Structure 1
């Protein structure tokens, strides 16, 4: 069967490929410590699961409006009003099965073939994949360790051309853990207004923040009308498998995205939407405990990585990933990630899984127990000691 040419432009998410390799090794009897996959290791809070069970018993097993159940859209709008300080209503909200559809639908609805989209690199790989898929030109915006993986606004300004249609932001960021400051966002907003750019603001990690408060670019003057906020339940409420996300956007775009939902998914599962209402309106203690645990693990992970020969790691300000520089080992990112899986039994991701500017880095998730993190660090240290020709490079 001959595939359409556009399929050759579609990328993938390496985390799932590494997970499959790790599972294959486990099937052979190997013990693998999983630091590759980007999901909380906590269970979904009990009151959210209970709400879903009740919903099933009450018959929430049928179609819903394509944009989402009105009560959930109102709960999301209320949450966004409180946390971002912006005036939005349910008419601005579209509920979708996970966060990725908002990336796909926003790019599909707004970006023409031949347009340019600026995206963070290293960054979530699906950004570039979707840009290429629609026939647009992806323009990588390099995030540098020496700048705490924040956007260099002067460099961003140089990348903007008359064909630039959209800018993608991610703060707190995957894979770097970087967080944009208020000053960063204010300067970026000025550029977007000057050049008439639309912003896709991926804020899926907005609640997993270790210092300060989350600031959305949509809260700056003139930006609400040109920003799509992407958020969801996967990370904050440990609901990755529930597939429940949403976008908050100008009403005309919400209507267009709803049409894309009608043409693709029809709607998001009804009972999961009821669970989403319980998540937003119920107790938040489990979220607070999870973030506190991530903060403690972050300390163990970063301190341990900085003791390894050839490793240099900043302390991430958000999300649950460490993104150490490993150039001192003398190995490429892909070589070292493969070596650690095969020789140390530790599954991590090559920085190049997140774009060309991820070379020289690894991503390690600290969504695992402190015991396993410490064990992984010990294994990595021993594995590095078995690389005699690399020691001098550190």
Structure 2
């Protein structure tokens, strides 16, 4: 039989999905591995989608999305992000994942290098390999509060480097880059004439820290910005995100969208209009819920003497269990699931420098979160003989 394309062997599998699928085959599992909001979708959003289905509004739409959705996004970006664009710079996508892939497809070719965070979202290197680009990790270390080391970035840049990816608020870390760091990223990109890809999917969930959209500071048209309704409005299965591009790309994007997806399903687009333009109190309620869960979880981790990164955004906890994993946190997480019935995401799924750490999702029932944390092994200093 014919062979698959040679570069497909280099696409790394998802370490998160491995745990998720194993957990699905087991009973009585505490699920803390996948970033699935545990709050209900607001009724006005569901009603908008339901009306579209009942009215048989199931036809093709423009490649970039229906005009009312693009207009709503343009207004939202100006009001909330300080990003001034026109509708032709907004492209409605099949979730944030598709927006990331689309931006990388536009900017990167075979052999081009992309700087991406380590630890960082697992799809970043997967996307790069899918298009025969080369992922080059830059390290986010606990000793630097998980902020980029620009001396390291200077050493990593080559003649083949085309893009740097920034993810703030971060998945998996829950860290937020301060404005000063965002400005340094832009200056670094200017020096080396790089595209910047900014993943801002968790923009609405911040705790005592200010989220800065990098495109709001960009005056050289080098930033692609990725947003999603999945986490903000608990619409993970509806698959609606959007890519915000520099100006002048509408024709190539129209072609790219047609080739990849044509358009997003229409009822989901009407739901997205209702989500963005309608009441936002349910988003604030969700943010309060996640913040309270994070506070309770961190208090328990401190009580147990387990190291973690104090989160500034998103709904994850980055927890150090290296004392128990024997240098292979992926194998340990699988064993922990089988023995303790708790599903956590191994840190190595987010890059080499995630080894020894795990990501806990707190978008869950607080009792489950506390149960999962109490089943973690104690650090040696906390052991009792």
Q: State TM-score, norm by structure 1.
A: 0.93
Q: Distance in 2 between matches of 1:32 and 1:87?
A: 45
Aligned to 1:271: 267
Counterpart of 1:353?
349
For 2:158, what is the secondary structure of its paired residue? coil
Alignment of 1:278-357 (within 5 A): 278-308=274-304, 311-329=306-324, 331-332=326-327, 333-357=329-353
Residue 368 of structure 1, CA deviation: 0.6
Shift, 1:306, TM fit: 3.1
Q: Which moved more, 1:10-19 or 1:242-251?
A: 10-19
In 1, the alpha carbon distance for the partners of 2:367 and 2:201 equals: 27
Distance 1:263 1:301 in 2: 45
Name 1:171's counterpart in structure 2: 168
The corresponding residue for 1:259 is 255
Task: Give the equivalent residue in structure 2 for 1:6.
Answer: 7
Q: Distance in 2 between matches of 1:345 and 1:98?
A: 30
Equivalent runs, 1:207-246 vs 2, <5 Å: 207-223=204-220, 225-246=221-242
* Corresponding residue of 1:107: 104
1:368 matches 2:357 = no
Deviation track 1:355-385 (CA, whole Å, cap 9, x = no partner) reads 11110111111111111111222222xxx26
User: Is the Cα–Cα contact under 8 Å of residues 103 and 243 in structure 2 kept in the other structure?
Assistant: no
Tell me the SS of whatever aligns to 2:248: helix
1:81 aligns with 2:78: yes
TM-superposed CA distance for 1:340, in Å, is: 1.9
Structure 2's unaligned 5+ residue stretches are: none
Count of residue correspondences: 381
Q: CA contact under 8 A between 1:143 and 1:149: conserved in structure 2?
A: yes
* Alignment deviations for residues 244-302 of structure 1 (CA, whole Å, 9 cap, x no partner): 01100023334323312101211100010011000000000000000000000001122
Task: Give the Cα–Cα distance (whole angstroms) in 2 for the partners of residues 77 and 320 of structure 1.
Answer: 26
Counterpart residue number, 1:391: 380
Out of 114, 118, 130, the residue aligned to residue 117 of structure 1 is 114
Aligned to 1:93: 90
Displacement, 1:133?
2.1
Q: Where does structure 1 lack aligned partners over 5 or more consecutive residues?
A: none
CA distance 1:352–1:330, change in 2 (3 Å): closer
User: What is the rounded CA distance, in whole Å, between the counterparts of 1:342 and 1:244 in structure 2?
Assistant: 34
Q: Contact (CA 8 Å) 2:176, 2:209: kept in 1 or not?
A: no
- CA-to-partner distance for each residue in 1:17-58, whole Å, 9 max, x for gaps? 2111111112xxxx1100001121112111100111111223
The structure-2 alpha-carbon separation of the partners of 1:221 and 1:129, relative to structure 1 and needing over 3 Å to count, comes to: closer
Look up the SS of the partner of 1:242 in the other structure.
coil
1:53-64 equivalent positions in 2, closer than 5 A: 53-64=50-61
With the length of structure 2 as denominator, give the TM-score of the two structures: 0.95
1:190-233 Cα shifts (integer Å, max 9, x gaps) = 1111211101100000111112332011111425x111110010
Counterpart among 177, 185, 198 of residue 201 in structure 1: 198
Q: Please report the RMSD computed on the Cα atoms of aligned residues, expressed in angstroms.
A: 1.7
